[in-house]
Amino acid sequence: MYGTYQQQERLTEDDILQGMLESRQRFAKLDNSRGYQHSFRKKSKWELVRLSLLIVGIECTYATETALVAPILLGIGLPHTVMTMIWATPSLAGLLFAPVIASVSDRLRSRWGRRRPVLLALGCTILTGMLVLPNGPAIGELVGLTSVGWVATITTVGLIMSDFSAETSNGLCRTYAMEVCTIRDQARVLSIMVLTGGIGATMGALFGAINWNRLGIGRLLGGNGPSVFAANWIVLFLGLLVTLTSFSEIPLPVQESEPMLRPVTQKMLLDEVKRAQGEGRVQEEKEEVQEVVGFKQFVHNVLHMPRSMKVLCLTQLLSHMSYLTYCLYYTDFVGATVYEGDVRALKGSAAAERYDDGVRFACLGMALCSTTSSIYSVFIEGLIVRFGARPVYVGGLLAHCCGMLAMGLMPHKLVVFGCCALTGVMYATIYSIPFLLISHYHSKNCFTEVDGQYVESIEPRGFGVDVSMMSSMLCLAQLIVSLAIGAVIDAVGSTIIITFISSAFMLCAAGSAMAILYMEL
């Protein structure tokens, strides 16, 4: 089924992979109307960028929410404690429903594929939420519900729709991209997604820095906040349109009925290498598409994850807890500690102006973080090839750990600005290597190492579910940080504590990353 190879010379693994892909591409070309042949060829950088443009919109949404959700909620008249609890609601929804949606996606038998229909539904939900979130008072007035409670409820619904759907789409978009790429292109597309994600985050920060009222657009759309979300809406819509129309998926029923249209996995490649090189008889495996994980099996997979997945999830959780402690409170830290301002000072006072100056300076630091993340992502693939995944992963986490510690010990403008670049290195790391490791596990169908040997799994695990579990770690981290860190800041009486908390979380994440199963990656 995989084709035969001449043994006049000892074929390399790349030669055998190319032969497997070419035979499948020829088979797919027998019916060009379906357009499945692209799944078995190397994709150009532009094609990988097209697959990644949805990430631009998602990261732009994250940046916009981080900058504006708190002012929107406080502007309604909510106290800080309630505002913090509302921030936690999308995280709770993500923990409960994101893996379920991924499980549904794994089993979807649509003619349009398994990932794109779900991404389309989630994308429409994000776009709707972004219209509701900044316009809660206007919507409340339109429907006759103008009390603080009703306006807060409308705004919260918009926040959940946009933030929960964006986070769920983040993992599914990566799953879709990796499934339509060959195994040699998967690392490339993940690196490009980090690059384009950094561009999206930078765009979101720049949208928030523009005075839309001065341009006249704010007066037309109802204020600065709605204008920023409107610009973000356009970016997300274009990214969704381009990504979902980039490449067709091979539907699950087609993969089940036509073995030559199934993706070439690492395990299939290794088996064919053994056949071609005559290293003994390899047991003929059944020509079955990867078993689809149902809901009961999904729950079992979550509750009985192999140790490799548990360690990877723990590392991702600690990493996100560290990063969220930084990004959710960084602007307040710079405004209050570095610039010695006061958010509660009278408007127009010297303390209030210092705080506003600090917030604007902090936004520049976060823009540097996004830019560094984009640049560093270009080099991650090469660094992994040269040094291995473990040093690159652990080193990226420790960069942020050292940066946060330096901020806390030396809270000066140049230090807090420059250390954001180290955070950018970490951000690119946690949004590429963990997903690459999951792809590596599934391609080999191995999650355990015993006595130096990798043991093939006998239990089916959904690729989309495991990718979604990584995304759920962000939801859990946001829930923990939203509910706990504010109380710690109030108890200590200074925002400088966030730098040491963030550094401690990342040090623990680096220790956990040392125990991850890398399987020679």
SS3 readout for 441-500: HHHHCEEEEECCEEEECCCCCCHHHHHHHHHHHHHHHHHHHHHHHHHHHHHHCCCCHHHH
Other CB atoms closer than 10 Å to residue 255's CB: what's the count?
19
Provide the 8-state DSSP code for 216: T
Q: In tens digits, what is the pLDDT along the chain, a chain of 521 residues?
A: 444 444 445 677 777 888 888 888 888 788 777 778 888 888 898 999 999 999 999 999 988 887 778 777 767 877 766 777 787 788 788 777 877 888 888 888 998 999 999 999 999 999 999 999 999 888 998 898 888 889 999 999 999 999 899 988 988 898 899 889 888 888 788 778 877 888 898 888 888 777 777 788 878 888 777 888 999 999 999 999 999 999 989 888 888 888 888 888 777 777 777 777 665 444 444 444 444 445 555 566 666 778 888 889 899 999 999 998 888 778 778 887 888 887 667 767 888 778 777 877 877 788 888 888 888 888 888 899 899 889 999 999 999 999 999 999 998 889 999 999 999 999 889 988 888 888 778 777 777 766 666 666 666 666 666 777 777 787 788 888 878 877 787 788 777 888 999 999 999 999 999 988 887 77
pTM (global) more than 0.75: no
* In contact, 309 and 435? CB cutoff 8 Å: no
Q: Which domains does the chain have, with CATH numbers?
A: 13-273 (1.20.1250.20), 294-520 (1.20.1250.20)
Angstrom distance (rounded) from CA 235 to CA 75: 26
CB-based contact 159:478 (threshold 8 Å) = no
